[in-house]
Structure formats: C-alpha cells, structure tokens
Amino acid sequence: MDESNPRISSQSAPDGWQVTLGGSWCAAELARPAVWHDLRRSIDTLEPSARGALGRWDLRALDRLDHTGAQLLWNTWGRQWPAQLQASPAQRAMLDRVARFSVVPPPAVAPSWLQRFLRLGEQVYKVVDHGRDLLRLVGQLMLDIGRLLRSPRDGPWRDVSGQLYRIGATALPITALVGFLIGVVLAYLMSQQLRKFGADAYIVDVLGIALIRELAPVLAAILIAGRSGSSITAQIGVMRVTEELDAMQVMGISQGYRLVMPRAIAMAIAMPLITVWTTLSALFGGILAADLSMGITPAYFISALPATVEVANLTLAMSKAMVFGVLIALVGCHYGLRVEPNTESLGEGTTASVVTSITVVILVDALFAVLFKDVGI
Amino acid sequence: MIAPAASAMAGVVEIRNLWSIFRVAGRDIVVHQDLNLHVERGELVSLVGGSGSGKTVMLRTILGLQTPARGEVSVLGRPAARLSDAGAASRVGMLFQHGALFSAFSVLDNIAFPLRELKQLPEDLIRDAALVKLQMVGLDAVHAHKMPSDLSGGMIKRVALARALIMDPPLLLLDEPTAGLDPDSADAFCALIRSLHRELGLTVVMVTHDLDTLYELSTRVAVLADKHVIVNAAPKDVIAFPHPFVHDFFLGERGQRAMELLREYPFAV
C-alpha cells in the first residue's frame, strides 16, 4: 500500500473509540478509484458512536489535509465536533473554516407544475417573438434598401464586396464538386431505368429539367445555408458577445444598414451565380455519365438540351436562387442578432440558424413548385 | 540566495535563461531575453512592467500555455510544459483577467468543476466543498445557482478565485486581480487574497499595474524591463533601484500618492 494513501483505523478503547487517520487526505489522493473505494468502506464500517459522542480522533499522523479532506471528515462527524480531537493548529484552523462555512445548500429552484404549464405558453410567445423579429428585419431591410437607392454613393459597398467574396467566390470548389457528383449519380440511375423502356434519348429531358429547374438551386442553397448561413450567425453572435454590436449602436451606426443589408445583397447576387455554376458542373457530370453508360455523345446532349428545356426554367431557377439567398441571409442575421452574450447561446443560435434556413429553403422550394407548375414544362 | 542543496525543493517557480520569441509578419520579436526568476515558497511576488513588456507571456509560460523558445521553466519541481497534465488543478490555480468562468455552468458548478472531473468523489461532498470555497471568497451561498452572466465584475473574480482554489493548490497565479474593480471591491479583494495567502500558506505570483494592490500585497516585486527582470526585491528596495522605468513607475505622481499607503501597511515592507 502506498504511504500517501489516505487511511483510517479505529480501535475500541475503555471510554469509547480511538480513531487514527494517516496518509494524505487531499482531493487528488482521495479521488483515486481504488483508494476512495477502500476509504469509503472503512468510513462506513465505523461505529456510529465513534463518529460523535464517544470518538477520540487523532489527526496528527496525517501527511496533508486539504479542504476536501476536511469536508469529508466534517461530514463523517455528522457536521459536529467529535468528543475529542487531536490535531495541529493548522488542521484545526482548516476544520474550523469548513465548520463555519458548511451550510445547508440552497435548494435549486425546481419549477412547479403551474410554471411548467405556463412554460408551454411561453413557447408560443417565443414563436410569435421570432416572427415579429423576422418581420421587423424584413421591414428594416426594405427601408435600408430604400435609403441605398436614394444615395447609392454612400452605400456599404466595401462590406458587400467582402461578403460577395466570402459567400460566393470561396464556395465555388465545394459546390462544383457536389454538383458534379450529383450529376453523375443521377445520370447513371436514370440511364438504367430509361434503357428498360428503350427511351435512352430522354436522358436529356430528365437531366435537363431536374438539374436546371430543381436540384441545382436547392443543392446550392443547402450548401450555402450550411456554409455561409452559419458563419453569418456566428459572426454577428460573436459581435454580440464581445459588445461590438452595442459599440456600433452607441456610434449611431445602423446594424440593419451595415450588417444585414450587405449580407442580404451579397447573397442575392451570389446565390444565382453559384446556382449557374452548380448547374453547369452537374450537367457536365451528367453528360459524362450519359456518354459512358449509354453512349449518348456530348455533342448530341448539348444540341438537344435547348429544345427540351425551355428558357423559363432558367429564369425560374435564378429567381428561386435569389429568394433562397435573401432568406438564408435574413435567417442567419436574425439568429445572430438574437444571440445573448454567452457562449452557450452562440452555439444554440448557430445550430438553429442552419436548421431553420435549410428548412425554409425546402419549404419555399415546394411553394415555388406548386405556384409555377405550369411554367416551363 | 539559497543553498544549492535546497534549491530543488525551495523554488516554487524557477525560470532560467528564458527566451520568448514571437514571429510577427516574418520578423522575430524577442519579448524575453535571458530572463531569470526565482520564487520561493510562501512568497507573494508581483510582476511589474510597461505594456508589452511580456508580463502576461511570462505568466502563460509559467502555466505551460506557452512554450519557451529557449531556457528552462520549472514549476513545483517539474517542467512547466507538463504542468497541464491530469490533476493540474491540485498543483496550480490561475485567476484569469476576466475570470474565464464557464458561461454554460452555474456558479456552484463552475467551482465544483475540477473536483467533479476527478469522477470519483460523491456529489454531496463536492457540493459541500464548493459551497465552503464560495463562502471563503466572501460570497453568500444564495449566489450558488446564479449563472456567470448574472454576476458583477467583482463577483466574477471571486467565483473565479474560488474555482482556482478548489483543490487547494500550493501556487496561485493572478493576472491583474484588481483591474476593472471599483476601489472598494479592489480593497476587499486585496484583503481577501492577503488573508488566503496567510491562512492557506499559498505562494502567489501576480501581474498588476495597480500600485495600491502592489504595495498592499507583495512581499517582493520583480520589475520586467529591457526584456528581462531588472530587479527582484522587497518593494522599498525596488523603489530605490536606479532605472528610468522604475523611476517613472513608482515615483511619478500616481506613485507618490500610492506610496503613502506604504506607511500604513507594514505588511508590505
């Protein structure tokens, strides 16, 4: 047995119990699993009378005692001094301090049933609050755009171009890769189905409509929501945590004008462009796969594409992308501005932002599909 | 200063020929050059120096958060780089300038965190020990369930101090302990550190700009200037040291005012 292991031994004496402690009663020593197990057992087997009225405790052989050890002793004694205690002045002072400060812990406030019921109602208010905030954000964006149109020279163009680079240019590699792979996968799956019907040539229709009208805009929007939506929330949220938002407000600089609008504008410009880019790389993947699996030459594919896919599809895709972009920016800013000045809230806000913006993108896409079901097909 | 045989035992913090070099924009910036410092058990040493003289870097080096470019740093007889191994909380406590409380935890959970991380001690013992520490730093038990964001600056520092002390480490490091506190809170905090230093037999190393704190607490003052420790002595000897920084720092107008305190607190001299 290690010399520094905390230990306790008791002997029956004529007038009660003689309890002797040894080793180092420090948190680090006490917390070693085997040591704690043994010590706990020896403490539990102490006679109840030894802990209090009839105990003579000898602490002089202890190597070291810290507050955790002293607390353990005090709790073992049932929070009162034993009949007799032999200890050094320093040990006594430490026990004294522990005795003085050992209080009944204040109960953690547990919610009553009524409060829990009312909390359900709070959820409703929270949703209403989110809606109101979002509405205010949209309204503010309209006003800010009005202000920008009146004096375009004073606009925050530097912010817009910075965001454009960060949201748009840096997203090109990942969107190209994902688009390309989706194109390849789709073409392979379709080719097998179409071959059953001998309708090989229809691969152009299927890929053209699916990719241009539906998949590429949604795919790009989801990627950008995960990539830039979260970074918008985190950026603005950190500004809240470090009081930068308050500093802006104190200087009379509008948060809507300098933070929300540049991001919304950059998204509105970047999203359609990224969508075109994603569409092109997806089509490239599709053409490649169609050539390899069905022998449909790229030349035929490209010449057949304009005839099968109306231009209206392209217009629809671009307008969808622009709406998605603005929505992602607004959701990101909304959650960013709602972050409270602590790290937990920052994490929650970022997660909620990504989940909400992806959900919103898909919902709005469904709405577009219903509204424009007669256009371009 | 001390007998060679005892040096391994006596030095709580031992810095020998420390070089700290930062690479900024392709250029090397030397912060410390052949810096030596020796802190003995039970001392309360203040690190003083102008802005950018590397006080915080030195504190971080002692804590092992920063690897020295050259030289040796040992804390409690082991290399500083290994200080943050498991169980570090029982060797050294650090009070960060802004408290660095975990904002997701309540006050009690913050203080109890190092004990709870040992994964062995029972919950009621941990809670009791944390409550004792909370009251030792002068806060009432009713604050136990508050979140850090609901606390004032002075309370944050006290809770952070309680957390630093939960495992009763022999060495306590303080970064600007009284910065951002109002004079009353600063005085109370100084008194707290002084009483803890006395009662628990702590060794304390602190960085401070505040002359009142410095005179009130330190048994020794180490002045950082010209990339090394130019003088390391009792406050009254440091004042007499001929160096432009020492002269400006201690004998400027603010210094004169704070010096009045020196007569009132015999502890410091």
Integer-rounded Cα radius of gyration of chain B: 19
Of B104, B141, B147, the CB nearest to A106: B141
The predicted pLDDT at position B5 comes to: 38
Residue count of chain B: 269
pLDDT tops 90 at residue A15? no
Helices marked H in B35-171 — which ranges?
55-63, 107-116, 123-136, 153-165
- Per-residue pLDDT band for A16 (boundaries 50, 70, 90) equals confident
The predicted pLDDT at position B117 comes to: 84
Task: State the Cα–Cα distance between residues A365 and A311, nearest whole angstrom.
Answer: 19
> By CB neighbour count within 10 A (0-12 exposed, 13-18 middle, 19+ buried), where does A362 fall?
middle
Task: State the Cα–Cα distance between residues B51 and B209, nearest whole angstrom.
Answer: 9
What mean pLDDT value characterizes chain A?
89
List for chain B the helix, strand, coil content (%; round to 5): 45, 25, 30
Most A CBs within 10 A among B106, B128, B139, B147, hence the mutation to make, goes to B128
- Per-residue pLDDT band for A302 (boundaries 50, 70, 90) equals very high
Average pLDDT rounded to a whole number, residues A75-96:
84
Spatial CB neighbours of A38, under 8 Å, sequence gap ≥ 6: A5, A7
Spatial CB neighbours of A119, under 8 Å, sequence gap ≥ 6: A111
CB–CB contact B120 A68 (8 Å): no
Number of Cβ atoms within 10 Å of the Cβ of B254: 13
State the nearest Cα–Cα gap between A35 and chain B, in angstroms: 10
The predicted pLDDT at position B4 comes to: 39
Backbone φ and ψ of B55, nearest 5°: -70, -50
The predicted pLDDT at position B31 comes to: 85
The predicted pLDDT at position B8 comes to: 45
The predicted pLDDT at position B267 comes to: 52
- Per-residue pLDDT band for B263 (boundaries 50, 70, 90) equals low
Task: State the Cα–Cα distance between residues B2 and A128, nearest whole angstrom.
Answer: 71
Distance of CA B37 to the CA centre of its chain: 14
pLDDT digits (tens, 9 = 90+) for A198-251: 888 888 988 999 999 999 999 999 999 999 999 999 999 999 988 899 998 888
Average pLDDT rounded to a whole number, residues B37-53:
86
B76 contacts B145 by C-beta, under 8 angstroms: no
Q: In what order do the strands lie in the sheet with B171-175?
A: B92-95, B171-175, B203-207, B44-49, B220-225, B228-233
pTM of this structure: 0.73
A221 contacts A328 by C-beta, under 8 angstroms: yes
**Nearest residue in B to A110, CA atom:** B145
**Helices and strands, number each (H, E), in chain B:** 10, 10
Task: State the Cα–Cα distance between residues A135 and A130, nearest whole angstrom.
Answer: 9
CB–CB contact B103 A98 (8 Å): no
Average pLDDT rounded to a whole number, residues A336-348:
87
Rounded to the nearest 10°, the torsion over CA B32, B37, B39, B44 is -60
DSSP structure class, residue B18: E
Average pLDDT rounded to a whole number, residues B45-65:
85
pLDDT tops 80 at residue A342? no
State the nearest Cα–Cα gap between B11 and chain A, in angstroms: 20
- Per-residue pLDDT band for A323 (boundaries 50, 70, 90) equals very high
Residues of A in Cβ contact (< 8 Å) with B125: 68, 71-72, 75
The predicted pLDDT at position A356 comes to: 95
Task: Give the residue among B255, B258, B217, B223 at the shortest CA–CA distance from B50.
Answer: B223
Average pLDDT rounded to a whole number, residues B206-214:
83
Share of chain A above pLDDT 90, in %: 51
pLDDT digits (tens, 9 = 90+) for A177-199: 999 999 999 999 999 889 888 88
Strand ranges in B25-95 using DSSP code E only, listed in sequence order: 27-40, 44-49, 70-75, 78-79, 92-95
Across A103-112, A207-216, B16-25, least confident range? A103-112
Across A7-16, A118-127, B253-262, least confident range? B253-262
Average pLDDT rounded to a whole number, residues B96-123:
87
Task: State the Cα–Cα distance between residues A282 and A277, nearest whole angstrom.
Answer: 9
Task: State the Cα–Cα distance between residues A356 and A360, nearest whole angstrom.
Answer: 6
pLDDT digits (tens, 9 = 90+) for A110-159: 788 888 888 888 899 999 999 999 999 999 999 999 999 999 998 899 99
- Per-residue pLDDT band for B23 (boundaries 50, 70, 90) equals confident
pLDDT digits (tens, 9 = 90+) for A19-70: 888 888 888 888 888 888 888 888 888 877 777 767 788 888 888 888 888 8
DSSP structure class, residue A61: T
Backbone φ and ψ of A24, nearest 5°: -110, 110
Task: State the Cα–Cα distance between residues A158 and A139, nearest whole angstrom.
Answer: 23
B38 contacts B11 by C-beta, under 8 angstroms: yes
CB–CB contact A36 B121 (8 Å): yes
pLDDT tops 90 at residue A358? yes
Task: State the Cα–Cα distance between residues B99 and A77, nearest whole angstrom.
Answer: 35
At residue B79, the 3 state secondary structure works out as: strand
List for chain A the helix, strand, coil content (%; round to 5): 75, 5, 20
Of B132, B167, B199, the CB nearest to A93: B199
Across A47-56, A224-233, B22-31, B205-214, least confident range? A47-56
A346 contacts A238 by C-beta, under 8 angstroms: yes
Task: State the Cα–Cα distance between residues B149 and B146, nearest whole angstrom.
Answer: 8
pLDDT tops 70 at residue A330? yes
Share of chain B above pLDDT 70, in %: 90
The predicted pLDDT at position A20 comes to: 84
Share of chain A above pLDDT 70, in %: 99
CB–CB contact A71 B148 (8 Å): no
Long-range contacts of B183-192 (CB under 8 A, 24+ apart): B185/B153, B185/B154, B186/B210, B186/B212, B186/B213, B187/B212, B188/B138, B188/B154, B189/B154, B189/B157, B189/B158, B190/B216, B190/B217, B192/B137, B192/B138, B192/B158, B192/B161
